Structure 1
Amino acid sequence: MDITSDIHSRHISRQFNQELEELKTHLMAMGGLVEKQIQEAVAALLEGDSDLARRVVENDRAVNDMQIKIDEECTQVLARRQPAASDLRLVLAVIRAASDLERIGDEASKIARNAADLIAADNGTRGFVEVRMISEHVRRMVRDALTSFARFDTELALKLVHEDEEVDEEYRSAMRSLMTFMMEDARSISPILSLMWILRALERIGDHANNLAEYVVYLVKGLDIRHTDPEDLDEQAITRKG
């Protein structure tokens, strides 16, 4: 059943409605914090701000705490309410989404730690153009994934599934450029390796944003598309299904 035809306001228990809404609200708050972590980790690198990089690493604990809180709330809903159909899918999707957001937070922390190393070494700005480009792309993906979750928007979610392929290609192109830099100048190996780790973390953030989008399709349509090739997805059929 399409979740849009199973409105939570029909529940007899108004408290149950509130609990489900709170799950979404807390997930969106966690997403907002994770978005900020990505933005500040990249800004720390591009602006040479080691203090900002340190704060990003320290704030990763807050992301972890939010995931634990959301997991506890979901467990309580499952135990007390024993939800079925679209309500069960919502709780499961929130659990999965919180896990991916926590991992995005981990990747932001990795970016910040490598940024701090690069700032300390003062090795110039080679590779920063690639970092800026890919970071803007994956930040937009994370924001759109959260929007699609909040709005139960499968069309936007499916667009993100295809966008992940674009990020993968941008990542491969950037890595080829950095490999060329290393071959031209052996002294650049250490900083280039740090940049490669940053780019890898950004690519992984794109993967997690893709996962969030897949959960939206599962939540709204009851379809698991996690192991489906994007080229095989019939977007019109999925958005009509319900």
Structure 2
Amino acid sequence: MATLSAGGQQDAACMHIRELTMNACKVAHSAAGAVAEGIATGVNALLETVRPREIELDRLDREIDSAVTTHITGATEESAREMLACMKLSIGMERIGDLLLGFSNRALVAASRCEMEDVRDLTLMASRLEKMLSEVREAFEMRNLDKALAVLRSDAEIDRLRNLVFVRHLENPGGTHRSESFHVVFMTQALERAGDHVKNMAEEVCHLVSGQSVRHLLRSIDKPLEQMFLDQLRTKHAL
């Protein structure tokens, strides 16, 4: 029976690690989708599906970490770079799973008593997070730099929504009585932090594809991230 050469074994290992990473992306994306739909509809059964997905993300993170540790020695520079990128992506998704589980646990307790404007903003944040996870998965799978940069632009919208919620509940300039502020603030913070992890994942994909850090990459195209975001908004409104 023919056996794989050392190079062939490394290629097969790298492909396996890549497939595990893609699976983790899909699980994280589905968890964010369950959170978005669950908070929007108030269906607790959707929020309860986050826990098994978080457990699966933990399992995949451990498997990827073990596989990278085993196979990175002796790998080519290109394969080693991809393995390390996969490990960083899996760490980000494992943390996102933790944050989404914390969100869903609070939502199960408090969502039915949240005000409609809070439900609206949390739904928008979770939906944007779901879209960012889909885009970062596609960027990684297709080695698409534009899609990775689109994720960086999208994070600003999550930050904007977080600021709206924080002003409403923490500053409360109108002195309006707000229900469930404690839970709402922590749920908002969980989604914002999850967005930061997806942003970090997108930066890792940028580095994998271009060989440059995001800072150097943006300098090379001579356009700051904020300007790219404004350009995206103008294009959207024009359409």
Q: TM-score, normalised by structure 1?
A: 0.80
The answer to whether the aligner puts 1:74 opposite 2:68 as a matched pair is yes
Equivalent of residue 78 in structure 2, options 81, 86, 109 = 86
1:1-242 equivalence runs, <5 A: 13-79=7-73, 82-119=74-111, 122-179=113-170, 180=172, 183-185=175-177, 188=179, 191-225=180-214, 228=215, 233-235=219-221
Quote how far apart the aligned CAs of 1:176 are.
Answer: 1.6
What percent identity do the matched residue pairs reach?
A: 18
Matched residue SS, 1:21: helix
Who is 1:4 aligned against?
none
| Amino acid corresponding to residue 149 of structure 2 in structure 1 | L
Aligned residue identity for 1:110: G
Compute the RMSD of aligned alpha carbons: 2.5
2-side partners of 1:181 and 1:54: how far apart?
Answer: 35
1:42–1:111 CA contact under 8 A, matched in 2:
no
CA distance in 2, matches of 1:115, 1:182: 26
Read off the aligned partner of 2:220 and give its amino acid letter.
D
TM-score normalised according to structure 2 size: 0.81
Q: Structure 2: where are the runs of 5+ without partners?
A: 224-239
Once the two structures are superposed, residues 49-71 of structure 1 have per-residue CA deviations (whole angstroms, 9 ceiling, x without a partner) of 23332332243222101100111
SS at match of 2:156: helix
User: Deviation string for 1:111-163 (max 9, x for gaps)?
Assistant: 101111114x6455341111121222121111101110111111221232233
Preserved CA contact (<8 Å) 2:57 2:94: yes
